[in-house]
């Protein structure tokens, strides 16, 4: 069974912004493949079900704990920033 890439957010993060900051927090919609392993330290806790890799794994990912995308799916970087 193949995984659905259309549900992976566009851009460089594992989420889609849902608006402006409110009380210091930005409302987001997380990628359904992103999760956190609470048994790991904060900077080693990110996991991507699409890749089947986590920050703590050898040859794993590096910044999933901070919701930085590792899969490069829908990575339309030019749309992220206005110049």
Task: Note the pLDDT of residue 2.
Answer: 78
Map residue 25 onto helix, strand or coil. Answer: strand
> Measured between alpha carbons, how far is 32 from 14 in angstroms, rounded to an integer?
9
| Domain ranges for the chain | 1-77
The model's confidence at residue 1, banded by pLDDT at 50, 70 and 90, is low
* Model confidence pLDDT, tens digit, residues 33-76: 999 999 999 999 999 999 999 999 998 888 999 999 999 899 87
> Is the pTM of the predicted complex or chain greater than 0.75?
yes
> Measured between alpha carbons, how far is 48 from 65 in angstroms, rounded to an integer?
10
């Amino acid at each position: 069974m193949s995984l659905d890439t259309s549900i992976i957010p566009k851009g460089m993060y594992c989420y889609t912004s849902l608006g402006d900051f409110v009380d210091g927090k930005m409302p987001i919609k997380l990628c359904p493949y992103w999760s956190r392993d609470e048994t790991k330290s904060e900077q080693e806790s990110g996991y991507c079900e699409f890749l089947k890799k986590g920050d703590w794994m050898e040859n794993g990912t590096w910044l999933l704990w901070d919701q930085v995308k590792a899969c490069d799916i829908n990575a339309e970087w030019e749309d992220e920033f206005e110049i």
